[in-house]
Amino acid sequence: MERFQSLAKARPVTDYQGTAPSVFIGSAGYPSVSGGPLLVQDTDIPTDWLSQGLGIEDIVRLRADTIRGVSKVAPRLGQIQEIALASHPVSVEASFEQPVRFNPDFDRVTAPVGGVGNIRRLDLLDHPPTDRAVDRVVSDTDLPAVEACIDLHRSGLDVYRITPLFTAGLLGKKRRIVPTRWAITAVDDSVSTVQKRAVARFSPLQEIRLHYSELFGNRIAVILLPGDWRYEMIERWEPRSLWAGETATVVRDGETMKKTGYSPITGAYYSARLAVTEHLFRSGRCARVIVIRNVDPSYWAPLGTWVVREATRRAMAEPPLVVSSLADAIQQAGSLAGFPDWIHHSALVPEIRFQKTLYEF
C-alpha cells in the first residue's frame, strides 16, 4: 500500500479534463449497481502497456492516477455505452461531488485504480467512430451474448475491446449491465469454451511440448501432451508473496470437455485457458494441457488477471521445447517455473500415467 501510495498524485482532484478510454461497472448491490467512465490519459489496454515496455512500477504509477467515475448507471447509461462503443478514448470533462482523494482499490481480476469519484457532471466532447464489426454485432439484437463475443473475437477484436461492450449491456438478446470483474471472466470463459470445443475435433499433437514465459514475477510453464482435450492449472504463491503468508499457497483446478462450477483459482484460470485455446485453435491441434503458474514476491501489486493472460500468451508464442517423455516434461516444467514439486498437486498426470499403463497392458 505504501509503495502504491508513493506513486499517486498528492492533491485531491475536483475536476477532470482528458480522456475516458473505457468504463467500469461495480458489483456491490447488484443488480442496482453504480458505474461510469475510467478517467485517465491512456488506452486502458494492457497489451499497449507491454508494447511500450512498461514495468510493474510504471503500470502502478499509471493506475494510481486513474479515477473511476461512479454514479447510478441508469441516468448515464447512454454516455457509458457511447464510451464503450468508441474505437478510441473519448475526450470528456467531468466534475465530482467531492474532491477525489487517493484511495487505492485492489482486485485479483481488474487492474487497480487510484481513486473513486462520485460524478456530478459528465460531458462527452467528441464522438469517435465505432469499429465496423462492433457496430454489426451490437445492432444484432437476436444474437446471443456468447455468440456475440465469439463473433467479435473472430473478427480480430481482443477481449480488452469486447469486455467493455459486455459490461455496458450492449451484447445479447436480453441486454443488461454486467459488473466489470464478472464480465472479464465471462468473456474469457465464453471465447475459450467455444474454442476448446473446436480444438477437441482436431487431430492430437504427436509430441510433448513445453512452453515457458515470465512476466512481472509470474512464471508460466505450459505442458502440451498428445491426447483428447484436458485442462489443468496449478497455481502457487511463494512464501511472503502477495496472496501468501510465511508458507506457500497452492490452488489446483481442472476440467474435461465440461467445466463444473467456478474455479477456485478465480479469473486467472479462464485467462490462462483462453491463451492456450487461442494457440491450439490457430495451430489446428488438440492436446492435454497443464498450466503451472508460480508467483514470487517481485509481483508486489495485483494488476489483474490480464497479467496471467499475457504471460501465457507470451509462453505460447515462444518456440516450444520438444521433450522426449512425460517425466522429462515434469522435471523441466518444475525447474523453469521454480516450482519443482508441482507434480504432487496434479490430478491429470496420475490419470495420464494410469491410462498409459492400461494401454500398454
32 has pLDDT over 90: no
- In the predicted structure, residue 358 carries a pLDDT above the cut 60: no
Q: pLDDT category, 306, cuts 50, 70, 90?
A: very high
The arithmetic mean of pLDDT across residues 232-248, rounded, is: 94
* Residue that finishes a domain, picked among 77, 100, 124: 124
Q: What is the mean pLDDT of residues 152-179?
A: 96
Strand 208-215 versus strand 249-255 pairing type? unpaired
Q: Does residue 281 belong to any structural domain of this protein?
A: yes
Please tell me whether residues 93 and 9 are part of one structural domain.
yes
pLDDT value at residue 17: 96
Mean pLDDT to the nearest integer, 256-276: 96
Question: pLDDT tens, 67-96?
Answer: 999 999 999 999 999 999 999 999 999 999
| 302 and 175 within one domain | no
**Confidence check: pLDDT of 359 > 60:** no
Query: Domain check: are 179 and 248 in the same one?
Result: no
pLDDT recorded at residue 12: 84
Do 222 and 284 reside in the same domain of the chain? yes
Total number of domains constituting the chain: 3
Q: Specify the pTM.
A: 0.94
pLDDT band at 336, cuts 50/70/90? very high
pLDDT of residue 176: 93
- Residue 44: pLDDT above 80? yes
What does the pLDDT look like over 49-60, one tens digit per residue? 999 999 999 999
Q: Which of 65, 97, 124 is the last residue of a domain?
A: 124
Residue 232 lies in a domain: yes
At which residue does the C-alpha cell 470463459 appear?
189
Give me the sign of the Cα torsion angle 268, 269, 270, 271.
positive
Residues 86 and 181 in one domain: no
Q: Which residues form the domain of 183?
A: 132-191
Q: Evaluate whether 205 touches 229 at the Cβ level (below 8 Å).
A: no
Q: Does 226 lie in the same domain as 162? A: no
- Provide the pLDDT confidence category of residue 101 given band limits of 50, 70 and 90: confident
pLDDT bucket at 265, cuts 50 / 70 / 90: very high
User: Which of 117, 13, 112, 15 minimizes the C-alpha distance to 64?
Assistant: 112
Average pLDDT for 213-223: 98
Is it the case that residue 252 has pLDDT exceeding 80? yes
The residue with greater pLDDT, 183 or 65, is 183
What percentage of the chain carries pLDDT values higher than 70? 95
For residue 308, what pLDDT is reported?
Answer: 98
Q: In this prediction, what percent of the chain has a pLDDT beyond 90?
A: 86
Q: Dump pLDDT digits (tens) for 187-200.
A: 999 999 999 999 99
In whole numbers, what is the pLDDT of the chain averaged over residues?
A: 93
Confidence of residue 30 (pLDDT cuts 50, 70, 90): confident
Q: What is the CATH number of the domain that holds 19?
A: 2.40.50
Residue 9: predicted pLDDT: 55
What mean pLDDT comes out for the span 120-141? 96
- Judged by average pLDDT, the poorest of 196-210, 290-304, 342-356 is 342-356
SS3 for the chain is CHHHHCCCCCCCEEEEEEEECEEEECCCCCCCCEEEEEECCCCCCHHHHHHCCCCHHHHHHHHHCCEEEEEECHHHHHHHHHHHHCCCCEEEEEEEEEEECCCCECCCCCCCECEEEEEEEEEECCCCCCCHHHHHHHHCCCCCHHHHHHHHHHCCCCHHHHHHHHHCCCCCCCCCCCCHHHHHHHHHHHHHHHHHHHHCCCEECCCEEEEEEEECCEEEEEEEECCCCEEEEEEEECCCCCCCCCCCEEEEEEECCCCCCCCCCCHHHHHHHHHHHHHHHHHCEECEEEEEEEECCCCCCCCCCHHHHHHHHHHHHCCCEEECCHHHHHHHHHHHHCCCCHHHHCCHHHHHHHHHHHHHC
Among the candidates 124, 152, 175, a domain finishes at: 124
Angstrom distances, CA of residue 67 to CA of 12, 16, 95, 307, 343: 11, 9, 12, 21, 43
